[in-house]
Amino acid sequence: MSENKPNSALVIGGGVAGITAALDIASQGFKVYLVERNPSIGGVMAQIDKTFPTLDCSACILTPKLSEVSRHKNIEILTYSEVGSVTGSAGDFHVRVKRKARYVNEDVCTGCGDCAEECPVEVANEFDLNIGFRKAIYVPFPQATPNVYTVDKENCIDCGRCVKACQRNAIDLDMKDTTLEFHVGAIIIATGFQLYDITDYPRLGYGHYANVIHAMEFERLINAAGPTHGHLIRLGDGKTPKSIGFIQCVGARDVQKGVPYCSRVCCMYSIKNAVMALEHNTDGEVWVYYADIRAFGKGFEEFYEMAKKRFGVKFIRGRVAEVMEGKKTGNLVIRVEDTETAEVRLIEHDLIVISPGVVPPIGMDTMAKKMGIEQSDDGYIQAEHTFFGPTETKTPGVFVCGCAEGPKDIPDSVSAGSAAAMKATIVLSQGGT
Amino acid sequence: MTTEPTETTNENEEWEPRIVAYCCNWCSYAGADLAGTSRIQYPTNARILRVNCTGRLSPEFILAALDMGADGVLVSGCHPGDCHYTSGNLKARARWAMMETAIEQAGVDPRRVRLQWASASEAQLFADGVREITEQVKELGPIRSEWK
Amino acid sequence: MSDTKEEPRIGVFVCHCGHNIAGVVDVVSVAEMARDLPNVVFSTDEMFMCSDAGQVLIKEKVKEHNLNRVVVASCSPRMHEPTFRRVVEEVDVNRYLFDQVNLREHVSWCHTREPVKATEKAKDLVRMSVARAAKLENLPIKTVNVLPKTMVVGGGIAGLRSSLDIAERGFDVVLVEKDTQLGGNVAKWTHLFPSDESGAQVIGPLIAAVRKHKRIKIHLNSKVSDFDGYIGNFEVTIKNLSSEKETKVNIGTVIVSTGFEAFKPVGYYSYTKSPNIITLAELQEMPPAQMLIRPSDGKPVKKMVFIGCVGSREPGKIGHEHCSRHCCSATAKAAADLRDDVDESLVLYQDIRTYGKGHEEFHRLARQKHVIYSKFPTDAHPNVEVAADGDIRIRWFDVLAGSELEFHPDLVVLASAMIPPDDMAETAKMFSLTRSGDGFFNPEHIKLAPLTTHTAGVMIAGAAQAAKNASEAVIDASGAAAKAVGLMAQGEVEIESTVSHVISDLCSSCHTCVTACPYGAIIMDEEQTPPVAFVQEAKCKGCGTCAAACPSSAIVMYHSTDEQILTMVEAYLCTTPEPEGGGSA
């Protein structure tokens, strides 16, 4: 029954869930193709500054995983690539992967950076949420895996200075996209999430007022490797904010906006960011405006208590009605009903950080349709069954983990990554039956 | 051990005690790590030495540290019953009484040594332990004044 | 391979960790100081030692300067020691010739506002590590085989799922359950909130599949009574609780899925004072009936109330500080489902944590059905009193209405905490697991290794790790199975070489070490005259208790020798004075 059936798996998405799944399949001796559309694996976790509830540095705990993946003999990393098509069935899928031209030969580039030094083009750095700058030839972050440069051809002016600067002749500005085809026995979808587009809430001022930012921008601002080298400043005037307000449940638990579900991570990442803000500026004050504090994971409630008691983070229960800007100061005034006292309050802050909810990533619908994978009403991949198949999809041989199935924090994504790997290897070991 | 102990005391600044802290890898070292990740602040005086288990520590290690000029010694391990190696910490506890007698006979104030239990999740407890022995030893003054 | 007999040539690498260390500690001066230490031939500082660039730097400098010892001053070795050990091995330096200094967790993060003293401490720690590095010795890298069999402890939904996955993947399983039947908590529930299935419907097919599978051997009414050995080669004794019959099994890996217990909230809200005050678990266990009836007299319930966070979220109360995670959603579903049976239904809560997929919908449905949600203050919980005639009166302060309220329900349902089972301490001891503040087991790493533990070869799954719902337990179970299968499929695994060794010439045959060893790893070698102590390395876990106990100093604890420890103390306390004029070494 299993003659010549492919003994390998495809993992789509190189975030922490996909990485975990890839490692757990590879450790059993099966080959894994790990496809990631960005130039580096690492996903959102690589962008985050610290993690809750231990305040560990995110990149620091992720890096060993990245290098483990890169040196694993059974894992082939295909970055800057997207799945083109999938045909076949469990045990024998035929996969086409489009490899976008990165204009740098991955096998030759050593990541030395000579090219970027020469490059005359500076563009906004998407890894830093466009706050900082990068060159048109770049690595997204210091621990990028593979540690290889990529030419952003949209912004490249074809001056050829990088080509000359590269002592290893790794740069080829005429490189073409290629297609890779292979067979796999099982597929894991680990395509993650994106943040809700909060410009959808004009009353909160994001996009209009310089000192209203969102949580991921905050992460980059407090990150030592970020655009301000870890100095928390207001983007409007470069001042250090003393009073910061965090607004919760934006693009989450909101039926009108089509996001009726809870995003699971925003309460905790905001409490963490609130604590970090006080770490950066000990005489500052931080307020969190929330609906319910959902500190449900291991050690979360204890962390919430610590934020209140030890760090003095102030919590106000109430949905923020609007944010107004003081013309001269650039300060923001929040109008909110404190539902515990039934008072409408106006509170002034130097900086507002909005905590956007989690939504399916761009391209999810297209990919799911192309692969014929069933989605749930909210756009995520539909799991087969809550108890019988929480990491299985409705298509046999295709599994799902991490936020591709719905919002999850890191440990839940990691557990699901391992679980999906287990299911995939059962298929691989049985030849698809 | 031929090198002469150096005096770090400088008359112009406040005297800071030097404390050797032996921590077991599984509970207290991890607790100290958690104190760091939780950003709990405590005095800088202790230098942590990682051993697998407090059971590894014969009295010699404590006495030698005091002899070489440590103003205090902290030994921190898993709670009784929680030892990663079943019972190493109980052995450490059993030796402790004997060790205290020994240092007392040598004329050293037993308040310079402290045995504590702090688990991997008890960051505050660990930090408090360092703070307490530091303050205690500050009151007692430099150890040089005590050796007979 | 670097030879330990060679003169030590030490390289020191000081990590900025971005701003994490360099923001407090003057890393440049630390690296400069290290340059002048004995045996140091190279010292530098670098932005991220763990990054590719940092790793390449170590390898280049080892080759360039012919280094045979490496010290990295960065974060906790509990995080990156494996990373750097691998790096040095790639350039033929034995992994035991690497030493790591913890400048982040133990210095910059806990002395944030004392940069000068922090830098002084950092320098001391680096000096100590360099001294230790000079005394480090090559140790052999040892691998052991992994027996292709897993023991799963606990036959609840997690244990069943793990067992079945491993068996379907083609490996043998021994499943040990202390109860007389499989299924754990889920099997007891006639209503499996949050789902429309009963516990039996969910657990039934799993039990049937596990029973049928020829690779799974089930031990019911049994407990592990002895656990010995090491990763890949554990020797287990399973004891039947009635017959006391003992079975010995050799296994390669373990999954501990011993679950939770629903807290019996004696002392809370007049629980036990009236049969009509029950826990959510007890509600879930009620036999299916046409109508919801009062336990006291069998009459239909007209007015009911749920109270949340019973024995959960109590700051300062050990074992009850955590959120029990499943109760808000289960309460919302139960309240919505039972709303049609009763005239009035209330949920008293602190926060509503319906976080999971579809859970917010239960909450919304409950509200649509006019279940009344009322928030009580964190510091003033509701008061429940039972009158002599059995009438239950509940009074509380509604935060949002800002007023005292009173209600006389027929039935009070307490959403009580998930706590560890009463034999948790025993299980922890058996498998050398540590427990966190919530009483459940500590994972190896709370973010990235939630399913493995610090006991190599022992995994945890489900509510044994933390409060969680059945679906999450199922995911954990498959994940833990993957970890076990990964080890078994590789067939062999590297183990630590940090064991004890007896120098037979010095041994006085006193037997002290034999009794000191908690693992029975030391025996007397009777073939020698007189018989001397001998360490069975495979059984030795490296605690070093024997080395401390030996009155003849005949025991060497590899990688933690007396000399390696004391040289650090000496390097801290007995620094040689700085040379005048700062001449180069």
Q: What is the pLDDT of residue A4?
A: 52
Q: What is the pLDDT of residue B11?
A: 45
Contact C109 B39 (CB under 8 A): yes
Q: ipTM of this predicted complex?
A: 0.95
Q: For residue B79, give how far its alpha carbon lies from the nearest alpha carbon of chain A (Å).
A: 20
Percentage of chain C beyond pLDDT 70 is 97
Residues C108 and C23 sit within 8 Å (Cβ to Cβ): yes
Low-confidence ranges of chain B (pLDDT < 70): 1-13, 145, 147-148
Q: Choose among A199, A234, A253, A195: nearest CA to A47.
A: A195
| Dihedral (Cα; C312, C314, C316, C320), 10-degree rounding | -10
Examine the domain organization and report whether C350 and C381 are in the same domain: yes
Binned at pLDDT 50, 70 and 90, residue C519 comes out as confident
Domains A8-100+177-193+360-429 and A197-357 share a fold: yes
Which amino acid does the sequence have at C516? A
- Partners of residue B73 in chain C, C-beta under 8 Å: none
Q: For residue C74, give how far its alpha carbon lies from the nearest alpha carbon of chain B (Å).
A: 13
Residues A360 and A194 sit within 8 Å (Cβ to Cβ): yes
Q: For residue B125, give how far its alpha carbon lies from the nearest alpha carbon of chain C (Å).
A: 13
Examine the domain organization and report whether C18 and C97 are in the same domain: yes
Contact A421 C482 (CB under 8 A): yes
User: What own/partner pairs with CB < 8 Å and gap ≥ 24 does C509-517 have?
Assistant: C509/C533, C510/C551, C510/C552, C512/C549, C512/C550, C512/C551, C513/C546, C513/C549, C513/C550, C513/C555, C516/B91, C516/C545, C516/C546, C516/C548, C516/C549, C517/C545, C517/C546
Give residue C533's domain range: 500-558
Examine the domain organization and report whether C225 and C168 are in the same domain: yes
Binned at pLDDT 50, 70 and 90, residue C576 comes out as low
Mean per-residue pLDDT for C67-75?
97
Residue found by looking up tokens 């290893």 in the block = A168
3-state secondary structure of A283: coil
pLDDT > 90? residue C584: no
Beta bridge partners of C144: C493
Percentage of chain C beyond pLDDT 90 is 85
Q: What is the pLDDT of residue C577?
A: 52
Chains meeting B at 3+ CB pairs closer than 8 A?
A, C
| pLDDT one-digit tens code per residue, A72-120 | 999 999 999 999 999 999 999 999 999 999 999 999 898 888 999 999 9
Q: How far apart are CA A395 and CA A87, in angstroms?
A: 12
Q: Is residue C119 part of a domain?
A: yes
Of C380, C399, C419, the residue that ends a domain is C419
Q: What is the pLDDT of residue C582?
A: 39
| pLDDT one-digit tens code per residue, C212-264 | 999 999 999 999 999 998 999 999 999 999 999 999 999 999 999 999 999 99
Q: How far apart are CA A358 and CA A403, in angstroms?
A: 9
Contact A301 C476 (CB under 8 A): no
Q: What is the pLDDT of residue A168?
A: 87
Taking each helix axis from N to C terminus, what angle separates C115-135 and C27-35, rounded to the nearest 10 degrees?
A: 30
Name the residue ranges covered by the structural domains of chain A.
8-100+177-193+360-429, 197-357
Sign of CA dihedral C37, B22, B25, C24: negative
Q: Is residue C5 part of a domain?
A: no
Name the residue ranges covered by the structural domains of chain B.
19-138
Examine the domain organization and report whether C130 and C227 are in the same domain: no
Per-residue pLDDT in tens (0 to 9) along chain A, 433 residues: 334 567 999 999 999 999 999 999 999 999 999 999 999 999 999 999 999 998 888 887 888 899 889 989 999 999 999 999 999 999 999 999 999 999 999 998 988 889 999 999 999 999 999 999 999 999 998 888 998 999 999 999 999 999 999 988 999 999 999 999 999 999 999 999 999 999 999 999 999 999 999 999 999 999 988 899 889 999 989 999 999 999 999 999 999 999 999 999 999 999 999 999 998 888 999 999 999 999 999 999 999 999 999 999 999 999 999 999 998 999 999 999 999 999 999 999 999 999 999 999 999 999 999 899 999 999 999 999 999 999 999 999 999 999 999 999 999 999 999 999 999 999 999 875 5
Would you say domain A197-357 falls under CATH 3.40.50.880? no
Phi, psi of C418 (to 5 degrees): -90, 120
**Burial group, residue B148, by CB count within 10 angstroms (0-12, 13-18, 19+):** exposed
* C448 and A CB contact within 8 Å: yes
Contact B37 A54 (CB under 8 A): yes
Q: What is the pLDDT of residue B7?
A: 46
Q: Give the CATH number of the domain where residue C85 resides.
A: 3.40.50
Q: What is the pLDDT of residue B12?
A: 47
Tokens, residue A270? 């905001």
Contact B38 A306 (CB under 8 A): yes
Residues B77 and B28 sit within 8 Å (Cβ to Cβ): yes
* C513 and B CB contact within 8 Å: no
Q: How far apart are CA A215 and CA A248, in angstroms?
A: 10
- Partners of residue C83 in chain A, C-beta under 8 Å: 63-64, 67
Examine the domain organization and report whether C238 and C268 are in the same domain: no
Examine the domain organization and report whether C306 and C409 are in the same domain: yes
Binned at pLDDT 50, 70 and 90, residue C119 comes out as very high
Domain count, chain C: 4
- Partners of residue A223 in chain C, C-beta under 8 Å: 18
Q: What is the pLDDT of residue C190?
A: 85
Q: Choose among C284, C48, C322: nearest CA to C185.
A: C284
B19-138 to CATH, choices 3.40.50, 1.10.101, 3.30.70, 3.30.360: 3.40.50
Residues in contact with C244: Cβ distance below 8 Å, sequence separation at least 6, in sequence order: none
Residues in contact with B68: Cβ distance below 8 Å, sequence separation at least 6, in sequence order: B1, B5, C569, C570, C573, C574
| pLDDT one-digit tens code per residue, C306-322 | 999 999 999 999 999 99
Q: Is residue C166 part of a domain?
A: yes
Examine the domain organization and report whether C268 and C403 are in the same domain: yes
Residues in contact with C292: Cβ distance below 8 Å, sequence separation at least 6, in sequence order: C300, C301, C304, C338, C341, C342, C411
Residues A37 and A15 sit within 8 Å (Cβ to Cβ): no
Mean per-residue pLDDT for C453-476?
96
* C470 and A CB contact within 8 Å: yes
Q: What is the pLDDT of residue C581?
A: 43
Q: Determine if residue B54 is left, alpha or beta; phi over 0 gives left, psi from -120 to 50 gives alpha, anything else beta.
A: alpha
A residues 44-73 closer than 8 Å to B (CB): 54-56
Mean per-residue pLDDT for C484-506?
94
Q: Is residue C301 part of a domain?
A: yes
Q: What is the pLDDT of residue C518?
A: 87
Examine the domain organization and report whether C394 and C304 are in the same domain: yes
Buried b or exposed e, range C500-537, using 16+ CB within 10 angstroms: bbbeeeebebeebbbebbbbebbebeeeeeeebbbbeb
Contact C442 B85 (CB under 8 A): no
| pLDDT one-digit tens code per residue, C139-196 | 999 999 999 999 999 999 999 999 999 999 999 999 999 999 999 999 999 887 767 7
* C20 and A CB contact within 8 Å: yes
* C78 and B CB contact within 8 Å: yes
Contact A54 B39 (CB under 8 A): no
Q: What CATH number should be reported for the domain whose range is A8-100+177-193+360-429?
A: 3.50.50.60
| pLDDT one-digit tens code per residue, C86-108 | 999 999 999 999 999 999 999 99
